Structure 1
Amino acid sequence: MRHFEDFRVGDVHELGSRRITEAEIRSFARQYDPQPVHLGRSAQPLIASGWHVAAVFMRLYVDAVISGSAAEVSPGLGELHWLHPVRPGDLLSGRATVLSTTPSLTRADCGVVRQRGELADASGRPVMRLLFYGLMRKRDHDPVITPEVRPDTLRA
Structure 2
Amino acid sequence: MSNSIGTTTGKVYLEDLSEGMVYESSGFKLEAADIHAFAREFDPQPFHLDDVAARDTLFGGLAASGWHTAAITMKLLVQSLPLAGGIIGAGGDIAWPRPTRPGDVLRVVSTILSVQPSRSKPDRGMVTVQSETRNQHGDVFQRLVARLVVPRSRVPSTAPLDGSS
Structure 2 residues without counterparts, runs of 5 or longer: 1-10, 56-60
Deviations 1:72-111 (A, max 9, x none): 721121x211011111111112110000001124422101
Q: What amino acid does structure 1 have at the position aligned with 2:153?
A: R
List structure 1 segments (4+ residues) > 4 angstroms apart after TM superposition: none
Give the corresponding residue for 2:71: 55
1:110-121 aligned within 5 A: 110-121=124-135
Find the aligned partners of 1:105 and 1:39 in 2 and give their Cα distance. 48
Q: Are residues 1:70 and 2:80 paired?
A: no
Alpha-carbon distance in structure 2 between the residues aligned to 1:127 and 1:21: 16
Deviations 1:99-128 (A, max 9, x none): 000112442210111010001111111111
Q: For 1:60 and 1:140, locate their aligned partners in 2 and report how far apart those are by CA, in whole Å.
A: 27
1:9 corresponds to 2:22: no
Give 2:65's aligned amino acid.
Answer: S
CA distance, structure 2, for counterparts of residue 122 and residue 147 of structure 1: 47
What's the CA shift for 1:146? 3.4
Q: Give the paired residue count.
A: 146
Taking the aligned partners of 1:89 and 1:147, their CA distance within structure 2 comes to 50
Instruction: Look up the equivalent residue of 2:148 and give its one-letter code.
Output: G
Q: Which one scores higher on RCO, CA 8 angstroms, separation ≥ 6?
A: 1
* TM-superposed deviation, 1:40: 1.2
Give how far 1:147 is off: 9.2
Structural RMSD (CA): 1.9
TM-score calculated relative to the size of structure 1: 0.85
Is the 8 Å Cα contact of residues 71 and 137 (structure 1) preserved in structure 2? no
Instruction: Give the Cα–Cα distance (whole angstroms) in 2 for the partners of residues 62 and 24 of structure 1.
Output: 20
Q: Does 1:27 find its partner at 2:40?
A: no
| Structure 1: 5+ residue stretches without partners | 149-156
> TM-score scaled by structure 2?
0.81
Indicate if the aligned counterparts of 2:133 and 2:142 stay in contact, CA closer than 8 A: yes
Identity %: 33
